Amino acid sequence: MAVHDKHLQDLDQAVIRFAGDSGDGMQLTGDQFTRTTALMGNDIATFPDFPAEIRAPAGTLPGVSAFQLRFSSFDIHTPGDAPDVLVAMNPAALKVHLKELKRDGILLLNTASFSALDLKKAKYDKDPRTDGSLSGYRTIEVDLEARTQEALANSPLDNRARGRCKNMYALGILYWMFHRDPAPTEKAIAQKFGKKPDLVAANLAAMRAGFAYAETTEVFQTAYRVPPAPMKPGTYRNIMGNQALCLGLVAGAQKAGLQLFLGSYPITPASDILHQLSGYKHHGVVTFQAEDEIAAVCAAIGASYSGCLGITSTSGPGIALKSEAMGLAVMAELPLIVIDVQRAGPSTGMPTKTQQADLLQVMYGRNGESPVCVLAASTPADAFEVGFEAVRIATKYMAPVVVLSDGYIANGSEPWLLPDPDALPAIPVAFAPAGEPGVKFMPYARDPATLARPWARPGTKGLVHRIGGLEKADVTGNICYEPDNHQHMVDTRAQKIANIAADLPPLQTFGPRHGDVLVLGWGSPRGAITAATLRLQQKGLQVSCAFLRHLNPLPNDLGELMKGFRRVVLPELNKGQLAMMLRSKYLVDVQSHSQVNGQPFKSHDIERHLLKVFAELGVEVSQ
């Protein structure tokens, strides 16, 4: 795309936030910009932030939906803290998001709806355009509604439908500003609305008009170019966390030679897992939309019992409902994968906002001594590997595995270096072979190395046996209430989970394995922690960071690693749950850095916190 007579400036990164009404198509707009940008070779990270209400009243503050993306010519770890560019489609979006825009940042403001009523709905006493609120920003006012209507004057669509194309007009402006090729979006729109040619034509016309408007009017003086990032060679695909997790589970099931069975009940932000897996029937995937969360996990246990890979997906409130059945899976010693896409709680909480406060629930939230393996995904692409790892552990150890994700990972996206499917390791699964006549099958005879019991599929001759939630004698599986047996079984179930640690590779650190400060993390704060750590390392500080994928059992070298540092700091989006676990297990003074506001960490906040820690340690920081 040529940029005539205008200034073209190179940037190494940009952060853009689209904000508008829930009905303004901000998620779609952000998604299109993301796809285009990924295809142009930039590294990219995204953060959709939308209300739980499907359509809150138009123009109000609770109805504001936003999509932030950051793209760069270098390796990035987060979707950025403060945006460089804010697109605000109405006064409410302006009110909610302006305070985060960088000073001197670009504000593209839709002036179409600034009537007294619009301002009132956004809780503005005065028009922010005239009271000085916008000073300090490079504001570009465009009546997107009017411009879009003009551009679509010949469209057979009605006024309302034409007006709805204004997001594409805004996208066109942004494409010009950031020197993006609109071709991928043209293709995507044609696919999305393929059966409605008028709609395709209108959307594309609006986008092209926006592009042309930016190119020709004088308000836009500069276009920006962000060159591609030097990424590892390979084939990439932009992926969201829920998608990657599904693919990891399907790949794991295939490598294990198992049919995947998902029992699930719709819940934000986990429902997309059910949606996506239900589209994989051609891969033999069975999905079961159950009558409730409990039925969902129970059906998955039934599927595992009959020799499939039973999986259930939910969010925190669903885990609360599934807890009793998870205990049954512990007792029955069957493979089961429980996915918890965490959201802000307690109770219904804030369904679309992120949090990591279910860790203690999945660790300890069951009656009795009920240990399960707990894994955590830390980025959208990482969710693939974690899903695959969950399959490996569940089948090898005949045990439930909880996978923790969160809303930020689930809906965020990043470029994913696609693995070679042939190079993915096989997951060996051996069902118990048919029994000899007259020989009684022993359902709890264990593999001495893993302590896993045999997986005996109903339908196999000579293996009939009974299992259940009652305590049973080891080896025979008969009901047994003997004191010594119960002690032995409790210890055995715990040891079986502990044994998983033997498989784990040493922890990787960013930075040396000793120094002043070790920043530990798990789950979605990974990006913000990495970015903050790298900046402090550049300032010469002795800080390293490491991330835990396995939360139960913990890696064997974690205790030793923590001893190599004067301070261990653990940022997490809860009130210090992993910090509490580590303090109790290792008697190390792990310092929790807690944030529970429904938003992901900003890397600068973590950096500021770490600087305070260094100050406490008496380390001088060169600015």
Partner 1 sequence: MTAVDRPVMQKKDYKTDQEVRWCPGCGDYSILNAVQGAFAKLGKQLHETVIISGIGCSSRFPYYMETYGFHTIHGRAPALATGVKASNPALDVWVVTGDGDAMSIGGNHFIHAMRRNVGLKILMFNNRIYGLTKGQFSPTSEQGKVTKSSPLGTVDYPFSPIALSLGAGGTFVARGVDILGPHLEDMVCRASAHAGTAVVEIYQNCNIFNDGAYKGFTDKEVRDARLLFLQHGQPLLFGANKDQGLAFDANFRPCLVSGGDLGKAYVWDETAESPAPAMALATMSESEFPVPVGVFRRRDKPTFEDGLQAQIAAAKAKKQESLRDLLYAGEIWDVG
Is position 259 an interface residue for partner 1 (rule: CB under 8 A)?
yes
The bridge status of strand 222-225 relative to strand 85-88 is: unpaired
Among 44, 86, 174, 294, binds partner 1 (CB under 8 A): 294
Q: Which is nearer to partner 1, 231 or 504 (CB)?
A: 231
Among 254, 342, 524, 530, binds partner 1 (CB under 8 A): 254
Using the rule CB under 8 A, give the single segment among 58-66, 210-218, 234-242, 610-618 that binds partner 1. 234-242
Q: Which is nearer to partner 1, 330 or 578 (CB)?
A: 330
Which residues does 392 contact at the CB level (< 8 Å), separation at least 6? 252, 256, 425, 427
Q: Which is nearer to partner 1, 8 or 183 (CB)?
A: 183
Is position 286 an interface residue for partner 1 (rule: CB under 8 A)?
yes
Is position 165 an interface residue for partner 1 (rule: CB under 8 A)?
no
Is position 30 an interface residue for partner 1 (rule: CB under 8 A)?
no
d(C-alpha 401, C-alpha 403), whole Å:
6
Site string for partner 1, 178-217 (x = CB under 8 A): ------x---------------------------------
SS (H, E, C) 408-452: HHHHCEEEEECCCHHHCCCCCCCECCCCCCCCCCCCECCCCCCCC
Number of residues that bind partner 1 (CB under 8 A): 69
Is position 368 an interface residue for partner 1 (rule: CB under 8 A)?
no
Least spacing, CB of residue 1 vs partner 1, in Å:
19
Tokens 């390392």 found at: 537
d(C-alpha 577, C-alpha 580), whole Å:
5
Q: Which is nearer to partner 1, 133 or 289 (CB)?
A: 289
* DSSP letter, residue 158: -
Scanning residues 454 to 473, which ones bind partner 1 (CB under 8 A)? 457-470
Query: What is 536-556 written as a DSSP string?
Result: HHHTT--EEEEE-SEEESPPT
Both structure tokens of 616: 């406490």
* CA R_g for the chain: 27
Residue 383: CB atoms within 10 A of its CB come to 30
DSSP-derived 3-state class of residue 172: helix
DSSP-derived 3-state class of residue 47: strand
Q: Which residues pair with 178 in a beta bridge?
A: none
Both structure tokens of 322: 């599934």
What is the distance between the terminal CA atoms of the chain, rounded to a whole angstrom? 41
d(C-alpha 279, C-alpha 260), whole Å:
13
Is position 29 an interface residue for partner 1 (rule: CB under 8 A)?
no
Q: Which is nearer to partner 1, 286 or 360 (CB)?
A: 286
Scanning residues 476 to 505, which ones bind partner 1 (CB under 8 A)? 478-479
Scanning residues 86 to 145, which ones bind partner 1 (CB under 8 A)? none
Is position 275 an interface residue for partner 1 (rule: CB under 8 A)?
no
d(C-alpha 430, C-alpha 452), whole Å:
12
Is position 302 an interface residue for partner 1 (rule: CB under 8 A)?
yes
Q: How many residues does the chain have?
A: 623
Least spacing, CB of residue 263 vs partner 1, in Å:
6
Residue 39: CB atoms within 10 A of its CB come to 15
Site string for partner 1, 332-351 (x = CB under 8 A): x-------------------
Is position 299 an interface residue for partner 1 (rule: CB under 8 A)?
yes
Least spacing, CB of residue 330 vs partner 1, in Å:
12
Q: Which is nearer to partner 1, 233 or 505 (CB)?
A: 233
Q: Which is nearer to partner 1, 261 or 547 (CB)?
A: 261
Least spacing, CB of residue 324 vs partner 1, in Å:
5
Peptide bond between residue 553 and the one before it cis (omega within 30 degrees of 0): yes
d(C-alpha 399, C-alpha 333), whole Å:
5
DSSP-derived 3-state class of residue 13: strand
Using the rule CB under 8 A, give the single segment among 45-53, 92-100, 257-265, 447-455 that binds partner 1. 257-265
Scanning residues 379 to 438, which ones bind partner 1 (CB under 8 A)? 418-419, 421-422
d(C-alpha 385, C-alpha 387), whole Å:
5
Using the rule CB under 8 A, give the single segment among 68-76, 110-118, 302-310, 512-520 that binds partner 1. 302-310
Using the rule CB under 8 A, give the single segment among 133-141, 218-226, 243-251, 507-515 that binds partner 1. 243-251
Q: Are 286 and 262 in contact (CB under 8 A)?
A: yes
Q: Which is nearer to partner 1, 88 or 329 (CB)?
A: 329
Is position 612 an interface residue for partner 1 (rule: CB under 8 A)?
no
Is position 367 an interface residue for partner 1 (rule: CB under 8 A)?
no
Sheet of 336-342, strands arranged across:
286-289, 260-264, 309-314, 336-342, 400-406, 373-376, 550-552
> What is the binding site for partner 1 (CB under 8 A)?
35, 38-39, 41, 184, 231-238, 247, 250-251, 254, 259, 261, 263, 280-284, 286, 288, 290-292, 294-295, 298-308, 310, 324-325, 327-328, 332, 418-419, 421-422, 457-470, 478-479
